[in-house]
Chain A
Amino acid sequence: DVKVTQSSRYLVKRTGEKVFLECVQDMDHENMFWYRQDPGLGLRLIYFSYDVKMKEKGDIPEGYSVSREKKERFSLILESASTNQTSMYLCASSLSIGAGETQYFGPGTRLLVL
């Protein structure tokens, strides 16, 4: 079974803080993704990575950066957290590139920025 883990289930941060969200997958997947889920807006792609040290912007990259130094780990960084970044953050991985590739999601990190 593929397992995707996220470092925290709940986080409370203050405006202006630098925030790190960590994601680890244990199945040697090539691709990793960061989404945020907001009520009424579904899943929106922030960044994805198809290889170590490679990254691509998704639909809403502003205010975020990512790091992938090892194949199994994909980090999302909020350089200076703002209240509009309060959200549920979901990490996902997939084995390879392909339209029908199933994504495996972590349990999510609910971030509250005060």
Chain B
Amino acid sequence: DQQVKQNSPSLSVQEGRISILNCDYTNSMFDYFLWYKKYPAEGPTFLISISSIKDKNEDGRFTVFLNKSAKHLSLHIVPSQPGDSAVYFCAASDAGGSYIPTFGRGTSLIVHP
């Protein structure tokens, strides 16, 4: 049973436009969410995170939005660049239980020049 779902396996966006990657979760105990980015032949690297006490966190071109009532978060990349082409993993963890993050299956983003 997937507790963290990334329902879009892939996303294609034009350079300069906005990329929106979505993530849904089912476990209401999750209270910390992270996004990782993975290039081919490399390990994932941390991108941005948000705790459940916030509904938005911004870092440069990357913004994560959290909607707790809908159990939904999204990663916005504005403007998108070809170097953003990678697989993006959403992860969620529960501070009061298992702190080990549960990962989604990933979304492959392709940014076309």
A107 touches B41 (CB 8 A): yes
B42, B46, B95, B103: residue with the most chain A Cβ atoms closer than 10 Å: B103
B51 touches A100 (CB 8 A): yes
B104 touches A99 (CB 8 A): no
Interface residue B105 (Cβ < 8 Å from any Cβ of A): yes
Which residue of the partner chain A has the closest CB to B98? A99
* Chain B 19-48 interface mask (CB, 8 Å, partner A; 1/0): 000000000000110101000011111100
Which residue of the partner chain A has the closest CB to B104? A42
**A4 to B: closest C-beta gap in Å:** 7
Given contacts A99-B32, A99-B93, A100-B49, contact A43 B103 (CB under 8 A): yes
Question: Hey, which chain B residues are within 8 Å of A105, CB to CB?
Answer: 36, 43-45
Question: Hey, which chain B residues are within 8 Å of A9, CB to CB?
Answer: 41
B104 touches A102 (CB 8 A): no
**B91 to A: closest C-beta gap in Å:** 8
Question: Hey, which chain A residues are within 8 Å of B84, CB to CB?
Answer: none
Question: Hey, which chain A residues are within 8 Å of B89, CB to CB?
Answer: 42-43
Question: Hey, which chain B residues are within 8 Å of A4, CB to CB?
Answer: 43
Contact of B43 among A92, A97, A98, A101 (CB under 8 A): A92
Question: Hey, which chain B residues are within 8 Å of A104, CB to CB?
Answer: 46
Question: Hey, which chain B residues are within 8 Å of A43, CB to CB?
Answer: 44, 89, 103, 106
Which residue of the partner chain A has the closest CB to B30? A99
**A6 to B: closest C-beta gap in Å:** 8
Interface residues of A (CB under 8 A from B): 4, 9, 33, 35, 40-45, 48, 58, 90-92, 97-108
Interface residues of B (CB under 8 A from A): 6, 9, 31-32, 34, 36, 41-46, 49, 51, 89, 93-95, 99-101, 103-106
A-B contact pairs, 6 of them (CB 8 A): A4-B43, A9-B41, A42-B89, A58-B100, A99-B32, A107-B41
